[in-house]
A and B are shown apart, each in its own frame.
Chain A
Amino acid sequence: MSDPALFEIRDLTIESVREGSRRRIVEGMSLSVRHGEIVGLVGESGSGKSISMMASVGLAAASLDITAGEIAFAGRRFAASDREGLRSNLSHGVSLLFQNAKGALSPFLTAGAQVDRVLAGRMPKAARRREAAELFRVCGLNHADLADKYPHQISGGQAQRVAMACALATEPRLLIADEPTTALDVTTERELLRFLARLCRERDLAIVLIAHNLSLVAEYCSGLTILHAGQIVERGPLASVFAEPLHPYTRGLIAAVPDVDEPHELVPLAGSVWGGRNDIERCRFSHRCAFARPDCEAAVPPLLERAGHEVRCVLYREDAA
């Protein structure tokens, strides 16, 4: 693709220090998003999806040590450890959606006031009301009904749409949506994702969709990155990854998702994300992998180009038998 990336994370590495012991919770993470594209970031809970995206906008917890990496957005480059610089991207084209929308809205302000205070720095008071009403409309909400309600008085789906209106008030070109539908029921989930996909088309909005559910991503994303224990295990165009999943973890994830059209036996993934040794450089999936060999724990396997996408697994090495 000749189209340059709108947003790029390069070699992001994050360590947590707890009681004197260091643990690398994100290792050499990279991600690239083009204008108006939806990319999926998938992995189990604790795989480092949210942390790496929060770090990419300077909002990682202060206790985390960002040891390497570079973030570029719309031509501006920052070291990943430059939280101040990265935070300047927020409200200048990058916005976020959280899993728990009711918790993300201030419990002390009405829905209307939440949107209004985001608009406050951007336009005169007179224009704000009209703009807020327009944002509510875009997000499928009735301003007259909801503007005076507090977050605890509205439903989860409505709260997520109010959060959406807040996010859109910053005129974003990139939206990082961290499992925005997890707290919602299935129908509301579908509605919201369809709505996000439409925004993406109509407003040229790029979206990073963080999810632990592969089937959701399959429907809306064009690119896919799969993270396990802070390592990218496989990434590439969605069609290619789904047509030929290579990494044992990716296969495990797909096997764990029920499919209505082609019913198959559901196989739960064994083990936990952070089991195994943390004191050596290794494939972080080796402790759960049915195909593990001694060389899995000899070094971090490189990302290899195979079948139209990239995979990090020793099974696909040139010299492999």
Chain B
Amino acid sequence: MRIPPVLAYVLRRIAISAVVLLGISAVAFSMAYLLPSDPVTSRYPDITNEQRAEMRRQMGLDQPLLVQYARYMQSVFAGEFGRSLGTGNSVGEDLARRIPATLELAVYGILLGTALGIPLGMVAAIRRGRPTDHLLRVVNIAIQSVPAFWLGIVLIFVLFYQLRWVPTPVGRLSPIHSPPPFFIGFYTIDGLVAGKFDVALAAARQLILPVLVLGLGVVSPLARITRAAMGESLGEDYVIFGRALGLGERQVVLGDAFRGALVPIVTTLGFVVGNVLAGAAIVETVFSWPGIGRYAVTAITTSDMAPVSTCILLVASGVALTNLLVDLSYALIDPRIRHGYGK
């Protein structure tokens, strides 16, 4: 039986990713344990040395690093990912509850950023060197130079505290609503599916500010790469020939020039996903969002090692998966790359 080249490529990539992730888990785990902070001391600062030794023994912290790592990996493969000292639950359980919250934020944030960034870059490329282009560049630099935590606080101050346009910026849903039954874990979608439109609307209103902060962070890199890549592809012979054949400007610009620019744009989008996952920690803290970012921050500040290691592993898996999807999308975008797989 012959395996199709694209499938073989995917399988090879997954195998490589698995090895990389294993390495990352080892580094993340040992890093967590080599840090000078101690989970027992940070939790109970006032206990005697004997009590501390006893607690460390109970938690298994007195074992050699390798044994602890082996025990952690065992728990990883069991789907538990260790136990959080903070929540008392298995980390897997904690994350299952928090991942949808972060994903809902990240997905809408990236959608918003893409929907703004790509058209802005396209307009700048088409109007290159003219006033519109210069204006957009200034806007871009302004957006880029604003730190997310500061923007978050300003937006809360203006849109919530002063204008009351948005509800209290705490969490995914105001306490008067109860979460909709689980469908995919996005409250907006779950609410719609369950027919609870008031819940979906309330969830959407809670999302406005954090999504705005996260999404604006995506706008600049995407606008910049789109402008550069489109600027180049608009000068390609196939664009000029398309015009020479009397094809409409929409067909030439959106069909050919944009597609010609799409590979670098998608590559940047891949980087951006990593940035968004990192940025989520700050945004979730500012907006008390019950996602993995805030979970990780809490775990780090309390030296709760299993959640820290697992969060690093989770983000790394997310980035690896994104990179694979980005690579595969090249083949969809450009037939020259698609036909390269067989070779």
Query: Which residues of chain A have a CB within 8 Å of any CB of chain B?
Result: 54, 57, 59, 63, 87, 90-92, 95-96, 98, 100, 103-108, 117-118, 121, 150, 152-153, 163, 166-167, 169-170
Instruction: Confirm or deny: B177 has a beta carbon within 8 angstroms of a beta carbon on chain A.
Output: no
Q: Which of A54, A63, A90, A108 contacts B245 (CB 8 A)?
A: A90
Is A105 in contact with B247, judged by CB distance below 8 angstroms?
Answer: no
Instruction: Confirm or deny: B150 has a beta carbon within 8 angstroms of a beta carbon on chain A.
Output: no
Is A107 in contact with B335, judged by CB distance below 8 angstroms?
Answer: yes
Is B335 in contact with A104, judged by CB distance below 8 angstroms?
Answer: no
Chain A residues within 8 Å of B240, by CB: 54, 59, 98, 104
> When A and B form their complex, which 5 residue pairs have the shortest distance between CB atoms, in order from nearest?
A91-B246, A104-B241, A103-B237, A96-B244, A104-B237
A-facing residues in B231-265 (Cβ within 8 Å) = 236-238, 240-247, 251, 255-256, 259-260
Taking CB as reference atom, which chain B residue is nearest A104? B241
Q: Which of A59, A108, A166 contacts B334 (CB 8 A)?
A: A108
Chain A residues within 8 Å of B260, by CB: 107-108
Is A90 in contact with B243, judged by CB distance below 8 angstroms?
Answer: yes
Instruction: Confirm or deny: B129 has a beta carbon within 8 angstroms of a beta carbon on chain A.
Output: yes
Chain B residues within 8 Å of A153, by CB: 339
Chain A residues within 8 Å of B238, by CB: 103-107
Instruction: Confirm or deny: B343 has a beta carbon within 8 angstroms of a beta carbon on chain A.
Output: no
Interface of B is mostly: helix
User: Given A98-B237, A104-B238, do A90 and B244 touch, yes or no (CB 8 Å)?
Assistant: yes
Q: A63-B129, A118-B245 are in contact. List 15 more A-B contacts (CB 8 A).
A: A59-B243, A91-B247, A92-B246, A95-B244, A95-B245, A100-B237, A104-B238, A104-B240, A106-B256, A107-B238, A108-B333, A150-B336, A152-B339, A153-B339, A170-B246
Chain B residues within 8 Å of A87, by CB: 243
Chain B residues within 8 Å of A54, by CB: 240
Interface CB pairs A-B, < 8 A, 28: A54-B240, A57-B244, A59-B244, A63-B129, A90-B244, A90-B245, A91-B246, A95-B244, A95-B245, A96-B244, A98-B237, A98-B240, A103-B236, A104-B238, A104-B241, A106-B242, A107-B336, A108-B260, A108-B333, A118-B245, A118-B246, A118-B247, A150-B335, A152-B335, A152-B336, A163-B241, A167-B244, A170-B245
CA A63 to CA B236, docked complex, whole Å: 16
Chain A residues within 8 Å of B246, by CB: 90-92, 118, 121, 170
Taking CB as reference atom, which chain A residue is nearest B336? A152
CA A237 to CA B61, docked complex, whole Å: 97
A-facing residues in B198-254 (Cβ within 8 Å) = 236-238, 240-247, 251
CB distance from A314 to the nearest CB of B (A): 39
CA A121 to CA B240, docked complex, whole Å: 19
CA A28 to CA B96, docked complex, whole Å: 74
Chain B residues within 8 Å of A90, by CB: 243-246
Taking CB as reference atom, which chain A residue is nearest B129? A63
CA A59 to CA B246, docked complex, whole Å: 11
CA A87 to CA B241, docked complex, whole Å: 12
CA A64 to CA B259, docked complex, whole Å: 26
Q: Which of B241, B255, B334, B336 contacts A105 (CB 8 A)?
A: B241
CA A170 to CA B245, docked complex, whole Å: 7
CA A91 to CA B242, docked complex, whole Å: 11
Taking CB as reference atom, which chain B residue is nearest A150? B335
Is B247 in contact with A117, judged by CB distance below 8 angstroms?
Answer: yes
Most buried by A among B237, B241, B243, B255: B241
CA A43 to CA B236, docked complex, whole Å: 24
CA A170 to CA B334, docked complex, whole Å: 27
Most buried by A among B240, B244, B246: B244
CB distance from A266 to the nearest CB of B (A): 32
CA A134 to CA B335, docked complex, whole Å: 26
Is B245 in contact with A91, judged by CB distance below 8 angstroms?
Answer: yes
Chain B residues within 8 Å of A59, by CB: 240, 243-244
Chain A residues within 8 Å of B129, by CB: 63
Chain A residues within 8 Å of B241, by CB: 96, 98, 104-105, 163, 166
CB distance from B322 to the nearest CB of A (A): 24
Chain A residues within 8 Å of B236, by CB: 103
A-facing residues in B264-310 (Cβ within 8 Å) = none
User: Given A91-B246, A98-B241, do A108 and B339 touch, yes or no (CB 8 Å)?
Assistant: no
Taking CB as reference atom, which chain A residue is nearest B235? A61
CA A169 to CA B247, docked complex, whole Å: 12
Taking CB as reference atom, which chain A residue is nearest B128? A62
Chain B residues within 8 Å of A96, by CB: 241, 244
